[in-house]
Chain A
Amino acid sequence: ETGVTQSPTHLIKTRGQQVTLRCSSQSGHNTVSWYQQALGQGPQFIFQYYREEENGRGNFPPRFSGLQFPNYSSELNVNALELDDSALYLCASTDTGWAGYTFGSGTRLTVV
């Protein structure tokens, strides 16, 4: 059974640029969600995808968008990067029963 994998592990971008982060869900999980964790804080929910549709969203602006593919993998896109977007981005997968969330190792994004 494979876990959740994320790529890349680290990324440095310039303010105003766009970035795409990728996530492959755990085998058997059909729901993927994304979280942003700023340094020293708890993760904050960005959005969730189920059957290729966004079905839950946190308090993040529209420049944060995503996709889910038929194989349940997912992308997080962030446009017009701001310095405050610097954080660890975590992807989590679960089944529809929410019995457990498995988190990936994360992507560390630094915006300069």
Chain B
Amino acid sequence: ELKVEQNPLFLSMQEGKNYTIYCNYSTTSDRLYWYRQDPGKSLESLFVLLSNGAVKQEGRLMASLDTKARLSTLHITAAVHDLSATYFCAALDTGRRALTFGSGTRLQVQP
């Protein structure tokens, strides 16, 4: 059964700093997704990573995928308060045709 682990679970950082969220998954998966969730809201799609070595960037966020290490990272550059949210990674379990989510990383950016 596919399992997804994220760390850290909580991250408090100052504006202007850089940090990385890590997402490990336990068995082979060829799709890795990153989502953002604001309190009380639904999931907003950030990135879909489809192959080994894939790197995608949008604004201050950059995601990468290493399928051999079963690791994806979400790097935050020069954080701003608006990035405060919970970030989830999810791996596609093709056997069950389902997304398996990590527990989420609650990011708090302090001014």
Contacts from A to B (Cβ < 8 Å): 31, 33, 35, 41-45, 48, 50, 55-58, 90, 92, 98-106
Q: Are B48 and A45 in contact (CB under 8 A)?
A: no
Q: Does chain A have a CB within 8 A of B68?
A: no
Bound-state CA distance A105–B43 (Å) is 8
The interface of chain B, by Cβ under 8 A from chain A, is: 4, 31, 33, 35, 41-45, 48, 50, 88, 90, 92-94, 96-104
Contacts of A101 in B (CB 8 A): 33, 45, 99
Q: Please, which residues of chain A bring their CB within 8 A of the CB of B102?
A: 42
Q: For residue B35, which residue of chain A has the nearest CB?
A: A103
Pairs across A and B, CB under 8 Å, 10 listed: A43-B90, A45-B100, A50-B97, A55-B97, A98-B31, A99-B48, A101-B33, A102-B45, A105-B41, A106-B41
Given A45-B98, A48-B98, A58-B98, A105–B33 Cβ distance below 8 Å? no
- Chain B residues with CB under 8 Å of A56's CB are 96-98
The 5 tightest CB contacts between A and B, nearest first, are: A42-B101, A56-B97, A45-B98, A103-B43, A105-B42
Task: Determine whether the beta carbon of B45 is less than 8 Å from that of A43.
Answer: no
Residue on A nearest B30 in the bound complex, by CB = A98
CB neighbours of B93 from chain A (8 A): 45
The residue on B at minimum CB distance from A47 is B98
Bound-state Cα–Cα, A90 to B10, Å: 23
Q: Contact at A45–B99, with CB atoms within 8 Å? A: yes
